[in-house]
């Protein structure tokens, strides 16, 4: 049985959080709540399996724009922005900042849930098959092929490769890799990552050269 998808609802209005949360819960989602951007970032850091964030713009301590910017520094998790303002500039700013959708208050909770369902379905479908320079990741079959030939990877090697490709071109610290792939905090021992990277490079053959070492920091996946 598949685990429920987690959705983080961020809004300083308790009534709004409860309204949205109740509708999402009744649609079989697991709901996490935060009252401001700072709280949201902490919850997101502790729950790497969050599938979507519903984020209000106007909040104390840290507004929605700033929160979204910080989220986008490390994650492509789908985000729907909520705002009480009806200005076109806010809608444009949402999309330019990396939001996946924009909903103006007041709104129909049923419409919000429908948009959540649509975005998550589209996101899942896009992840089913990832193709990067001849390296194809099939998430349904949990299989990797290189130029049509199957490559035998362990579970963690598979996850590590997927994480590298999803973040291609970005310099990734060992801390971030451990936190996102192994789901535990960095404790100063990089041997776990280095060992897996060495094995993964070998199994990828010539394409193993795509995994670049960033000295004193970590790694970067950079296809030629």
What range defines the domain where residue 112 resides? 6-127
For the record, the structure tokens of 189 come out as 């021992």
Residue 42 pLDDT: 94
Domain final position from 100, 127, 154: 127
Query: Is pLDDT larger for residue 187 or for residue 124?
Result: 124
pLDDT > 90? residue 22:
yes
Q: What is the pTM of this model?
A: 0.60
Angle subtended by helix axes 109-127 and 14-26, to nearest 10: 60
Task: Of 8-22, 64-78, 79-93, 138-152, give the range with the top mean pLDDT.
Answer: 8-22
Same domain, 78 and 48: yes
With respect to residue 52, please indicate whether it lies within any of the assigned structural domains: yes
Query: How does DSSP assign 52-119, residue by residue?
Result: EEEEESS-SSS-HHHHHHHHHTT----EEEEES---HHHHHHHHHTT-SEEEESS--HHHHHHHHHHH
Binned at pLDDT 50, 70 and 90, residue 21 comes out as: very high
Specify the pLDDT at position 87: 63
User: How far apart are the C-alpha atoms of 39 and 182, rounded to whole Å?
Assistant: 23
Q: Within this chain, do residues 107 and 145 fall inside the same structural domain, yes or no?
A: no
Q: What is the CATH number of the domain that holds 144?
A: 1.10.10.10
Do 32 and 71 fall into the same domain?
yes
Q: Tell me if 1 is assigned to some domain.
A: no
């Amino acid at each position: 049985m598949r685990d429920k998808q987690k959705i983080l609802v961020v809004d300083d209005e308790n009534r709004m959080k409860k309204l949205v949360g109740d509708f999402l819960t009744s649609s079989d989602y697991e709901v996490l709540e935060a009252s401001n951007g700072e709280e949201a970032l902490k919850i997101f850091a502790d729950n790497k399996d969050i599938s979507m964030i519903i984020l209000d713009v106007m909040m104390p301590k840290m507004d929605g724009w700033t929160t979204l910017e910080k989220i986008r520094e490390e994650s492509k998790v789908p985000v729907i922005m909520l705002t009480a303002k009806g200005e076109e500039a806010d809608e444009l700013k949402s999309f330019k900042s990396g939001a996946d959708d924009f909903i103006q208050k007041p709104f129909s909770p049923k419409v919000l849930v429908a948009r959540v369902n649509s975005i998550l379905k589209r996101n899942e479908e896009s992840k089913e098959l990832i193709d990067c320079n001849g390296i194809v990741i099939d998430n349904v079959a949990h299989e990797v092929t290189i130029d049509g030939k199957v490559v035998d990877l362990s579970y963690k090697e598979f996850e590590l490769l997927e994480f590298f490709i999803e973040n291609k071109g970005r310099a990734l610290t060992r801390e971030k890799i451990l936190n996102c792939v192994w789901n535990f905090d960095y404790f100063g021992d990089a041997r776990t990552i280095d060992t897996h990277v060495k094995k993964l490079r070998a199994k990828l053959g010539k394409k193993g050269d795509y995994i670049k070492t960033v000295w004193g920091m970590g790694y970067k996946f950079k296809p030629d």
